[in-house]
Amino acid sequence: MRIAQLAPLAESGPPKLYGGTERVIAWLVDELVELGHDVTLFASGDSKTKGKLHAVWPRALRLGRRGADPNAACALLIEAIAERAGDFDVIHSHVDWLPLPVLGRTGVTFLTTMHGRLDLPGLADVIGAFPEAPFVSISDNQRRPLPNANWISTIPHGLPKDLFRPSFESGSYLAFLGRLTAEKGPEDAIRIARAAGMPLRIAAKIPRAETAYFKKKLEPEIDSEEIKLVGEVDDVRKQPFLAGAAALLFPIDWPEPFGLVMIEAMACGTPVIAYRSGSVPEVVEDGITGFIVDGEEQAIKAVKEAGRLDRSRIRARFEERFEAGRMARQYEEVYRGLITCGARHA
């Protein structure tokens, strides 16, 4: 198949540092190429891919020149696929609803994977305007705010089997990985670690909009000894960071659509201790790959139980459930189904 993949332009594919969506898209493209497909990635010019790169914008917006208009970049992305739509058998968008008015008029089979939260004001009205547009969710829970969308499949994320090496030794600290925003639960993570008597290592970016939150709520708690901020990490540094942890803390307070960091930890053999929110019950197998808890008190107890979990089994369950090849094969099946359905209705 000739497949177009439309990626967000905030980060390169894969991102240099933080960025889950663009990372998953890059893995998907590479796996589809390995399956024998002709794949073109529409993304920023600093992206790297086994497919063909159509550079829409010179450099990822977050790390590029300040002041770049993301709307201008997105307009160029949509125009690029509109011009080249006829080159493809299927167009796979990962940029939410923005290209829908154009994609629905190309006459080419298309689908959209929704990567973010879907309980945003006005989103239901937009999706309702495109009742025939096919959507893929990354967890079943993600769909809840938009039950009437044309959901055709749920395909959980996957990452390359050999990206991270597992460690089967007990870790010496607790890990927190992600954005330093209140909804991700860094304050909870600090309290849990202190109550459990374990060091906490925080590998995270500080969004510009969250600078005041960081300085007021988090910075006073970071002593660089028991609670240490190590900053953003790339894939090379992420592996030892996660593999050396006794557990990953994921005390979220929002409807997490998937939570890529959970399967990254599992790939390293590291158990996940997560609050029961969003997709967590679909990703974590309680008592096998980690613990699903309701609040700080249960999380503290779970920290003390994490050492009894079999890290080799955690790694095995990652390979069985969340490997990137599985993700690509599921999308391949969806593409074929949509193309076949379109041919029947032509």
Q: According to the model, what pLDDT value does residue 345 have?
A: 45
The model's pLDDT over 276-316, given as tens digits with 9 standing for 90+, comes to 999 999 999 999 999 999 999 999 999 999 999 999 999 99
Across the chain, the runs of DSSP E, i.e. the strands, are 2-6, 38-44, 52-57, 90-93, 109-113, 134-137, 150-154, 173-179, 200-205, 227-229, 245-250, 272-275, 290-293
The token duo for 67 is 């002041």
Q: Rounded mean pLDDT of 60-71?
A: 75
Return the CATH superfamily for domain 2-159+323-345.
Glycogen Phosphorylase B; (3.40.50.2000)
The two domains 2-159+323-345 and 173-321 share their CATH topology (first three levels equal): yes
The model's pLDDT over 203-255, given as tens digits with 9 standing for 90+, comes to 987 878 899 999 999 999 999 889 999 988 888 899 999 999 999 999 999 99
- Helix 235-243 to helix 260-267 angle (10° resolution) is 70
Q: Rounded mean pLDDT of 15-22?
A: 74
What is the percent of the chain where pLDDT is above 70?
96
Q: According to the model, what pLDDT value does residue 179 have?
A: 87
- Per-residue pLDDT at 342 exceeds 80: no
The token duo for 181 is 């925003």
- Per-residue pLDDT at 185 exceeds 80: yes
Q: Which residue ranges make up each domain of the chain?
A: 2-159+323-345, 173-321
The model's pLDDT over 253-269, given as tens digits with 9 standing for 90+, comes to 999 999 999 999 999 99
Q: How far apart are the first and last CA of the chain?
A: 19
173-321 placed in CATH 3.40.50.1970: no
Alpha-carbon span 111 to 153, nearest angstrom: 11
Q: Measured on CA atoms in the order 47, 52, 55, 61, is the torsion positive or negative?
A: negative
- List 90's β-bridge partners, or say none: 3, 109
Per DSSP, the three-state class of 112 is: strand
Length of the chain: 346
Q: Let me know: does 41 contact 76? Beta carbons within 8 Å.
A: no
Alpha-carbon span 272 to 250, nearest angstrom: 7
The model's pLDDT over 154-172, given as tens digits with 9 standing for 90+, comes to 999 999 999 999 999 999 9
Radius of gyration of the chain from its Cα atoms, rounded to whole angstroms: 20
Q: Rounded mean pLDDT of 30-40?
A: 98
- Per-residue pLDDT at 180 exceeds 60: yes
Q: According to the model, what pLDDT value does residue 142 have?
A: 98
Q: Rounded mean pLDDT of 179-202?
A: 96
Residue with tokens 């900053």: 231
The model's pLDDT over 79-95, given as tens digits with 9 standing for 90+, comes to 999 999 999 999 999 99
Query: Which one, of 54, 43, 38, 27, lies nearest residue 3 by Cα?
Result: 38
Q: According to the model, what pLDDT value does residue 60 have?
A: 87
The token duo for 186 is 């860094």
Alpha-carbon span 279 to 31, nearest angstrom: 24
pTM of the model: 0.94
